[in-house]
Amino acid sequence: MANPERKPLLLDFEKPLSELEARIHQIRELAEDQDVDVSEQIRQLEVRAVQLREEIFSSLSPSQRLQLARHPRRPSTLDYIQAISDEWMELHGDRGGCDDPALVGGVARLGGRPVLMLGHQKGRDTKDNIARNFGQASPGGYRKAMRLMEHANRFGMPILTFIDTPGAWAGVEAEELGQGEAIAYNLREMFRLDVPIVCTVIGEGGSGGALGIGVGDRLLMFEHAVYTVATPEACAAILWRDSSKAPQAAAALKITAWDLKNLGILDTILPEPIGGAHADPLKAASILKDALLQNLEELTNLTGQQRRELRYQKFRRIGVFTEISA
């Protein structure tokens, strides 16, 4: 988890709140130096700070939610795994010569139950991000994920995936190694697995890179996470040849949890601590753990055949439209 003592990175829309909190701190210090009782004024300002925080984070635009989803101190896959699991053992390699650090996975215990946990892993700083390829998995990463999921299916362990990537790695080498085939193979094979599969968008869910581990019985999503067919910047560059129109693209793409819930793609929206998951990572992890345990309890009451059928029908319903004759 992020170190709570480090000074938080401010986003543009957080600056009014930061200025108010700095003012409260300044008044408190001056009152202590001059031995003046201003407790009532400070209390009023603190109440206003709470109200302002709620106002800001309850009315974020899609582009502002995208900023939160990309926050460098937002909890990552490994942060959540370490916070919610009783035991955790990372497994490596795709048995084909690759061990992609941008996609991690392993066996764990959740509430005393053996499970497989895997997900995209971004870095915490520039050096770490370069090592993790900014969470953009290679073909070997998706093949490693599929190997681990087949292992879980063989031993009857539920699969929990955590989605947090701007997209699959789009380099020339990735294409040479079969990026499209690796993701397509995962899409097909995840439909046939017997064990429960719960997928959670914890940050940025982008394109086929997200879908490569995103076929499940349930799709959960943190309220400030995003899930999209392409990044708003890429969409704006394609449609208008102007990446500065990314906020407009973000609104049109329907990338927020509320949009996806209304479209029937998302099953559950997970509330975040006020200020985002990075403001209180342990509370966010507790919310995630409770949701995962609840969904696993419901899904384990079904047979493998029932889960496969429900999974199939879930995705068949996505994108259904009605034609209106003239």
> What pLDDT sits at residue 58?
77
Helix (H, G, I), strand (E, B) or coil at 16: helix
Phi-psi region at 123: left, alpha or beta (left = phi > 0; alpha = psi -120 to 50): beta
Quick check: 267 and 311 in contact, CB under 8 A?
no
> What pLDDT sits at residue 142?
96
DSSP 12-72: GGGHHHHHHHHHHHHHHHHHHHHT---HHHHHHHHHHHHHHHHHHHHS--HHHHHHHHT-T
Pairing of strands 87-91, 103-110: antiparallel
Quick check: 198 and 218 in contact, CB under 8 A?
yes
CA-wise closest residue to 78 among 170, 181, 166, 202: 202
CA distance 193 to 266: 20
| pLDDT tens digit at each of 326 positions of the chain | 544 444 557 777 777 777 777 777 777 777 777 777 777 777 787 777 777 777 778 778 898 899 889 998 999 999 999 999 999 999 999 898 889 999 999 999 999 999 999 999 998 888 999 999 999 999 999 999 999 999 999 999 999 999 999 989 989 999 999 999 999 999 999 999 999 999 999 999 988 899 999 999 999 999 999 999 988 988 999 999 988 899 999 999 999 999 999 988 999 999 999 888 998 999 999 999 999 999 999 999 999 999 999 999 999 988 777 777 76
Q: What share of the chain is helix, strand, coil (3-state, %, to 5)?
A: 50, 15, 35
> What pLDDT sits at residue 8?
57
CATH 3.90.226.10, applies to 66-316: yes
Phi, psi at 152, each rounded to 5°? -65, -40
Which residues sit opposite 197 in a β-bridge? 159
CA distance 199 to 119: 9
> What pLDDT sits at residue 326?
66
Helix (H, G, I), strand (E, B) or coil at 133: helix
Tell whether the torsion through CA atoms of 153, 157, 158 and 164 is positive or negative. Answer: negative
CA distance 275 to 207: 26
CA-wise closest residue to 149 among 193, 187, 108: 193
CA distance 70 to 167: 13
As a residue count, the chain comes to 326
CA-wise closest residue to 227 among 81, 11, 56, 65: 65
CA distance 250 to 176: 31
> What pLDDT sits at residue 97?
86
Domain ranges of the chain: 12-59, 66-316
CA distance 224 to 233: 18
> What pLDDT sits at residue 2?
45
